Structure 1
Amino acid sequence: MKRRTWILSALGATGALVVGWGVTPVRSRLGDGALMLPTEGDVALNGWIKVASDGSIILAMHRSDMGQGIHTALSMLVAEELDVPLARVRLEQAGADSIYGNVAMFVGSLPFHPLDAEEGKKTSTVRVGEWMVGKIARELGINATGGSSSVADAWQPLRQAAATARASLLEAAAAQWKVPASELKVQAGVLSHRSGKTGHYGEFAKGAAGLTPASVVLKDRATWTLIGKPALRPDVPSKTNGSAQFGIDVRQPGMLFASVRQAPMLGGTVQSLDSKAALAMPGVVKLVELPSIAGSTAGFAVVGKTTWHAKQAALAVEVKWAQRAQGALDTEKIKADLATQLKAESGFTFYEKGSVEKAEATANRIIEAKYSAPYLAHATMEPMNCTAQIKDGKVEIWVPTQVPGMARAVAAKVAGVDVESVTLHVTLLGGGFGRRLEVDFVGQAVQVAMQCEGKPVQLIWSREEDTTHDFYRPMHVADMRAAMGADGKVASLRIKSAGDTITPRWMERGLPALAGPIDMPDKTASEGLFDLPYGFANQHMSHVATRMGVPIGFWRSVGHSHNAFFSESFVDELAAQTKQDPVAFRAALLTEAPRYLAVLQLAAEKAKWGSPLPSGHARGIALHESFGSIVAEVAEVSLQDGKPRVHRVVCAIDCGTVVNPNTVAQQMESGVIFALSAALYGKIDIKEGEVQQSNFPTYPVVMLAHAPVVETYIVPSERSPAGVGEPAVPPLAPAVANALFALTGQRQRALPLAA
């Protein structure tokens, strides 16, 4: 009932309003050709597809590429339906219309148990909830690249747009040649008729414009020639030879450069500053004070002729900083406060099944454990940066962002212009991981550009500013409790966690007009705990939402990233307590979850679970579902100089229909290395309000010499595509921790494991 109440409150204030609006037709995402950028010789057939005069295809790209290969995958969907070679699909940045909004990401935020939301098994509550939230998301049209949702969201609209364009082109050719459209064939973008007539798409584009085809049918899976086949990524050569343009590479005529210094105490302010000496340095133009913008910490930027000039001058500014009004933040105190609140408050119940109270009351014994995870930084390879120019009442920005609409909005707000006066160019992203879902650095760049007399200015953060002024993954703690029956089996599982919730804080910073009731329950706080697939008869999963004051944000795989460590480590504890093999213990609990069981068994088989290992080595396994994909990972671990060394990670994944298996493997490898860095080293400490880690020497990542061999095995599936960019992250830490237990007999319940 609690979950249902939450869903209804999110959908609308009055039932009559929601019901009345809910029966209206779903807004189409096909769009009109006028939405695409008008370019000479090209003909737009809808809001996604243009045909060039040479017959090549231009796709409106609405998602940001941060190394995950999404530009290739989405191009493959279009190339498949239009029967053109992948190399014949070019990209242009999509506009700001609502058709480009991310519907799947918002539908995925609903707090449904995955076993209740399985395709073909959805309950009425799930169907209604997804329908309503999908409608809301279509209306809002918020364009965001996140939640491992790009392919899932584009799966229907992009193929539909391409198939509609194809049908229109066929009808145009049929009309021109005066033959039935059913007699035409398409191969590699060339139409042909048995009479011998041939022509490429470009010859019929004008005739196809404005047509509403009589019938649009998506290609049958059996006829696919691209989807599901390995494809090379067209972006690799430019990224290899250095010609690819990331945000940090932007150069404009007469451009200036700005270096930022923010109060070292999170939430701090400038008390006083003396810039005389700094402004007298060679190549220095001016200093601009920066208030808190979109959640940033206040500070200033120095503008110079080069980044070096600006940075050296910024360091030379004599400044006195003031602590935040609420007092200094401290991670040790926060951890103690979390433990106190976890014990004192009941929290919000995300999931309950059976009666945990009865099971505990009649238990033969109770197994309890406390787990914790620290704050983490994103540590993207490309620090935060944005280039902005304000001239003649217009704003133009070049930025690596995951949220172009929000970036435009904050730019307009800071500059005092309407959103239509802002032109935004999305560059390639040198890493995102959720950090570029924030727009603080965009607001800063615009504020600096306002003081630069129409010249473009590139604002860039140093690595130290980037690490010490992040929106961190929140610190969380969890109490795990299992009741053991007289038969020696687990009778119940109770999990209560505590920590800050991300979504409300993100909405406050970037979507204040849409924020509404800010502190409603946030799925990301309990995901990976309330949605376990295991068939425990009695379950109770709750979360105590806190507000500790540290700026927090979405981090790759969000709540799953730490909650999987809590849940899968504790499940491993239960296997040990009942003296069962970890794989067999899990398998016995997955009789009602065959997809999970298949993934678990595939990973165990490929890792040769149970076979002999070199002396001093051990294996650990973890199974976890996130973003619609099920992943099992087996880690082979040893100790070297008393520190964990991971030699091999075997991954099995069921992510639904696979578009490009190469990308799946690459993202699994990426996720494993990213997660391993966090599992072994990741920790942000705050003392007197100041973050203690500042660069890679104090916030290390896994280096090439210590990277494990990663093997990926994909479960064949005809389900709709699910996420790939994040699901490899959650199982890694528990798999390594479970291997360490097998190796040493000691259970580690706190991250990082190497601490």
Structure 2
Amino acid sequence: MRRRTWLLSAAGTAGALVVGWSILPARSRLGSPDLMLPEAGDVALNGWIKIAADGSVVLAMARSEMGQGVYTALPMLAAEELDVPLGSVRIEQAGFDTIYGNVAMLQESLPFHPLELEAEPRPLKVRLGRWMVGKLARELGINATGGSSSVADMWDVLRVAAASARASLLGAASAQWKLPLAELSVKDGVVSHPSGKSATYGKLAKFAAATPPGEVKLKARKDWTLIGRPAPRRDVPAKVDGSARFGLDARPPGLLYAAIRLCPMLGGAPGPLDAKAALALPGVQQLVPLPAYAGSTAGFAVVGQTTWHARQGVQAVQVQWQQRAEGALDSKQIEAQIGAALRAEKGITFFSQGDIAAAEAKAARLVEASYSAPYLAHATMEPMNCTARVLDGKVDVWAPTQAPGPARAIAARVAGVPVDRVTLHVMLLGGGFGRRLDVDYVAQAVRVAMACGGRPVQLAWSREEDTTHDFYRPMNVAMLRAALDGQGQVQSLRIKSAGDAITPRWMQRAIPYLSGPFDLPDKTTDEGLFDQSYGFAHQHMAHVATRMGVPVGYWRSVGHSHNAFFIESFMDELAAQTRQDPVEFRRKLLQQTPRYLAVLDLAAAKAGWGGALAPGRARGVALHESFGSIVAQVVEVSLQDRAPRVHRVVCAVDCGTVINPNIVAQQIEGAVIFGLTAALYSRVDIQAGKVQQSNFPNYPMVKLAQAPLVETWIVPSERSPGGVGEIGVPPLAPAVANALFVLTGKRARTLPLTV
């Protein structure tokens, strides 16, 4: 209530409350035991950990599993501190208290430069900024899985929660047995004393619930037995035998099915329609109009006894579609408009160092280049879907979502009920990549369920609807300029980019109570440019935020996905212009950032940089930091039938402390395939308001036979964990482009890459 008062009060009152709030200590994320779901025989010790009667551990899972391995990595943190086997930890969906919000994701949205983050001690503005945003994030409790932040956010929280539970269990044994706490030990969930006394966690749990934990100490790194070691993915067996439950596997009793049809022109709406033929088909029950929920395009759904009936019905509806009032969208026109804005506007300066104007004025030569990247779709393997039931003033939702909080909130708004009347079941995600941070499909399912008389309904999009009505990665263009002195050395670097800002649009759709009438600078627009690590004495990095009308959203690695292509391709251009080896050129500019230099050196060494290659092959290199982790990639490329073929990708990774090296390797491998698809094939074109790509035949993926050998080498580190799920995407496209230059002598400055 304190936060709501602050948001709604007059300015004077708000100011006093902000001052009072800001000096309070950060809200604890340990949580009360009553936040855990009550189950017979289970005893909750805090908001994250329960002990079952058989001594097994139940962990509140606050993040969505979409293939990135959180169902394995997060239980490893709890098992380590509780001294139990990983197999004895099971998970249950976390509730909706603020302790389950993602603090790290919001903290990482602050636009600090790596040199500031790497400094010891950190500058005051960094410490203060992270402190204030962390406090605000604790209050808001926005639960979302994104920004490669799951492990980074849970790193301290889960270890402290598990260590606190362990301390209470040991304290309970000490009090019951009247033995010194220091003489007790734990192994595999059994507390023991040299006298022979022992008890399982299950036997001690009730007493532990009434025992304060006392001093809580985390295990020393040298005592870890799980963290840092390979462990099998816990979600794989169920996915192999078919028992895993994704969104499309929800089957509440009495289930109906719905298919969707949205206006093919983005932002348009249905005009006059004739549903007589559709409703006359066997198994078709009704048509439900769908407004433009949460940033979606308007349309309608047809409900049937099966998915097949619903899809037959939705295609049989005769409708006259209406173009959006602002006129039809066209990607070629948009590219020209973004380019004009780039040339005409100064933009927001994200980073400036030295005197860029003076350096350019003194230059013996200027090197300039323009780069561009197209709109991209997410193309998750599981299309958008949601199952909902609205009955007796209550809403049940079964959704594969990355954003449980916003999903629950929009379900309540659509149904017109308080949010505490919504029960959300988070299902496994058949891919997310940022698409499932949006909640349009949840709103649509609830609206359809409201028309179904209390019966549950599963709304499933077709692949064509999914591809043509995405929240796309924004189109972006950039101009890069470097000043060279008389000796051919680079003295300055200026980069100005332009494209739509994602965060303000997403907040309007998913968290409207936080969005305001004005767009604030969005770090995602310039990330990977303003925070690049190269030691140019004079730098200026700016972005022109546009608003072109195409629905845009977070896409795996977000701004890094195209900004890495811009800067790392240009770095190779500068190496060529100054007649330097691309690796050596980068090495000279990384003397102030030894972590980056170590990653680059490892990748080059493992790839055999400078060594012999098979005839017709060339190497390319790229280095990029994103989400707190650094990746260098060296690729081997050839031309086959005048098309690029990537044979080998060597990846060096510094992602801080590694929880499970198997998961790191898996995520890097998946990111390479994802990034290679985007680099070689992917683009979204819009003509007369319609997206031209609709399915895999014209929005292709890298096939198994085209997949390269991927090697992952991890730099040992004792830093806190960085992100892993997205970091392998950004360097791939520039590394391939740089190899293609060696093969062809031509610079590719537009994605997807062609020769």
Alignment partner of 1:294: what SS?
A: helix
Question: Secondary structure, in 3 states, of the residue corresponding to 2:390?
Answer: strand
Q: 20-29 vs 426-435, which deviates more?
A: 20-29
Task: Tell me the CA shift for residue 16 of structure 1.
Answer: 6.3
AA at the equivalent of 1:746? K
Q: Distance in 1 between matches of 2:213 and 2:190?
A: 19
Deviation for aligned residue 1:742: 1.0
Question: Displacement, 1:551?
Answer: 0.1
Residue type of the partner of 2:75? S
How many Å separate the matches in 1 of 2:62 and 2:748?
Answer: 43
Distance in 2, matches of 1:240 and 1:371, equals 43
Aligned to 1:161: 161
Q: Tell me if the contact between 1:100 and 1:143 (Cα under 8 Å) persists in the aligned partners.
A: yes
The Cα offsets for residues 711-736 of structure 1, whole Å up to 9 and x where unpaired, read as 00000000000000001000000000
Identity value in percent: 69
Q: 2:149 maps to which residue?
A: 149
Is the CA contact (8 Å cut-off) linking 2:526 and 2:543 kept in structure 1? yes
In the TM superposition, residue 92 of structure 1 has moved relative to its aligned partner by 0.3
Q: What is residue 619 of structure 1 aligned with on the other side?
A: 619
Residues 127-175 of structure 1 show CA distances to partners (whole Å, capped at 9, x for unaligned) of: 0000000000000000000000000000001000000000000000111
CA distance in 2, matches of 1:403, 1:452: 26
> How far did 1:19 drift?
4.2
Q: State the one-letter code of the partner of 1:531.
A: D
Task: Summarize the Cα distance change of 1:463–1:689 in structure 2 as closer, same or farther, 3 Å threshold.
Answer: same
Q: How far, CA to CA, are the matches of 1:712 and 1:15 in structure 2?
A: 51
Which residue in the other structure is 1:393 paired with? 393
Deviation string 1:290-346 (CA, Å, 9 cap, x unpaired) is 010001100000000000000011001001100000000000000000110000000
Residue identity in the other structure for 2:691: V
Cα 1:526/1:354, change in 2 over 3 Å: same
Q: Distance in 1 between matches of 2:105 and 2:425?
A: 23
- 1:31 has 2:26 as partner: no
| Residue type at the aligned position of 1:77 | L
Q: Look up the match of 1:408.
A: 408
Q: For 1:408-459, what per-residue CA distance to the aligned partner results, in whole angstroms no more than 9, with x for missing partners? A: 0000000000000000000000000000000000000000000001101000
Aligned to 2:256: 256
Cα distance in 2 between the residues matched to 1:677 and 1:705: 13
- Tell me, yes or no, if the aligned pair for 1:681 and 1:754 is still in contact at 8 Å: no
Q: Which residue matches 2:511?
A: 511
Q: What's the counterpart of residue 639 of structure 1?
A: 639
Residue 224 to residue 262, structure 1, CA distance change in 2 (3 Å): same
Structure 1 residue 62 and structure 2 residue 68: aligned?
A: no
1:5 is matched with none
1:2-401 map, 5 Å: 18-118=18-118, 120-401=120-401
Instruction: Give the superposition deviation at 1:114.
Output: 1.4
Alpha-carbon distance between aligned partners in 1 of 2:539 and 2:748, rounded to the nearest angstrom = 24
Shift of 1:120: 3.5
Q: Partner residue of 1:8?
A: none
Q: CA deviation at 1:14?
A: 7.9
Distance in 2 separating the partners of 1:21 and 1:446 = 37
In 2, distance between residues paired with 1:14 and 1:128? 20
Q: 1:709-724 residue pairs with structure 2 within 5 A? A: 709-724=709-724
**Distance in 2 between residues matched to 1:711 and 1:548, nearest whole Å:** 40
Q: Is the 2:657–2:717 Cα contact (8 Å) retained in structure 1?
A: yes
Contact 1:301 1:448 in 2 (8 A): yes
Which amino acid letter does the alignment assign opposite residue 472 of structure 1? Y
For residues 15 and 685 of structure 1, what CA distance do their matches in structure 2 show? 48
Q: Judging changes above 3 Å, is the alpha-carbon distance between structure 1 residues 95 and 271 closer, same or farther for their aligned structure 2 residues?
A: same
Amino acid at match of 2:265: M
- Greater Cα offset, 739-748 or 112-121: 112-121
> Which residue identity lines up with residue 619 of structure 2 in the other structure?
R
Return 607-616 or 118-127, whichever deviates more.
Answer: 118-127
Q: Which residue of 1 aligns with 2:4?
A: none
Q: Deviations over 1:464-497 (max 9, x none)?
A: 0000000000000000000001221101000000
Cα deviation for residue 119 of structure 1 reads: 6.6
Structure 1 residue 517 displacement after superposition: 4.8
**Cα distance in 2 between the residues matched to 1:213 and 1:78:** 16
Q: Which residue of 2 aligns with 1:659?
A: 659
Question: Which residue of the partner structure matches residue 486 of structure 1?
Answer: 486
Report the aligned-residue RMSD.
1.2
1:355 positional shift: 0.5
CA distance in 2, matches of 1:598, 1:454: 60
Which structure 1 residue ranges, 5 or more long, are not aligned? 1-11
- Quote the Cα distance in structure 2 between the aligned partners of 1:121 and 1:636: 40
Offset from partner CA, 1:257-276 (integer Å, 9 cap, x none) = 00000000000001111000
Q: Is the 8 A contact 1:342 1:497 kept in 2?
A: yes
Tell me how far apart the structure 1 counterparts of residues 386 and 328 of structure 2 sit (CA, whole Å): 30
Q: Secondary structure at the match of 1:730?
A: coil
Match of 2:437 in 1: 437
Secondary structure in structure 1 of the residue aligned to 2:115: coil
For 2:742 and 2:596, how far apart are their aligned partners in 1? 23
**Distance in 2 between residues matched to 1:721 and 1:679, nearest whole Å:** 28
User: Which residue in 2 is equivalent to 1:419?
Assistant: 419
Q: TM-score if structure 1 supplies the norm length?
A: 0.98
2: CA distance, partners of 1:730 / 1:445 = 34
Superposed CA offset, 1:540-576 (max 9, x none): 0000000000000000000000000000000110000
Give per-residue Cα distances to partners, 1:360-392, cap 9 Å, x unaligned. Answer: 001000000000000000000000000000111
* SS of the residue 1:498 aligns to: strand
1:586-611 superposed Cα distances (whole Å, 9 cap, x missing partner): 00000000000000000000000011
Any conservation in 2 of the 1:415–1:450 contact (CA below 8 Å)?
yes
Q: Which residue of 2 aligns with 1:457?
A: 457
1:210 to partner: Cα distance:
3.7
Q: Which amino acid aligns with 1:30?
A: L
CA distance in 1, matches of 2:160, 2:129: 24
Does the CA-based 8 Å contact 2:330-2:686 persist in structure 1?
yes
Residues 592-634 of structure 1, C-alpha deviations (whole Å, 9 max, x = no match):
0000000000000000001111111000000000000000000
Deviation of the 1:118 alpha carbon: 1.9
Task: Report the Cα distance in structure 2 between the residues aligned to 1:453 and 1:518, rounded to whole angstroms.
Answer: 41
CA distance in 2, matches of 1:683, 1:344: 26
CA contact (8 A) 1:49 1:161 kept: yes
Aligned length: 745
Q: Deviations over 1:80-138 (max 9, x none)?
A: 00000000000000000000000000000000001211273411110000000000000
Alpha-carbon offset, residue 17 of structure 1: 5.4
Aligned residue number for residue 5 of structure 2: none
SS for the counterpart of 1:565 is helix
Q: Write the distance in 2 (CA, Å) between the matches of 1:486 and 1:18.
A: 55
Q: Is the CA contact (8 Å cut-off) linking 2:748 and 2:754 kept in structure 1?
A: no
1:591 counterpart = 2:591: yes
Matched residue type, 1:734: P
How many angstroms apart in 2 are the aligned matches of 1:16 and 1:424?
A: 37
Q: Distance in 1 between matches of 2:660 and 2:230?
A: 5
Is 1:689 equivalent to 2:673 in the alignment? no
- Look up the SS of the partner of 2:117 in the other structure: coil
The ranges of structure 1 where at least 4 consecutive aligned residues each deviate by more than 4 angstroms after the TM superposition are: 12-19
**How many Å separate the matches in 2 of 1:210 and 1:719?**
35
Following superposition, the deviation at residue 182 of structure 1 comes to 1.2
In structure 2, give the amino acid aligned to 1:61: M
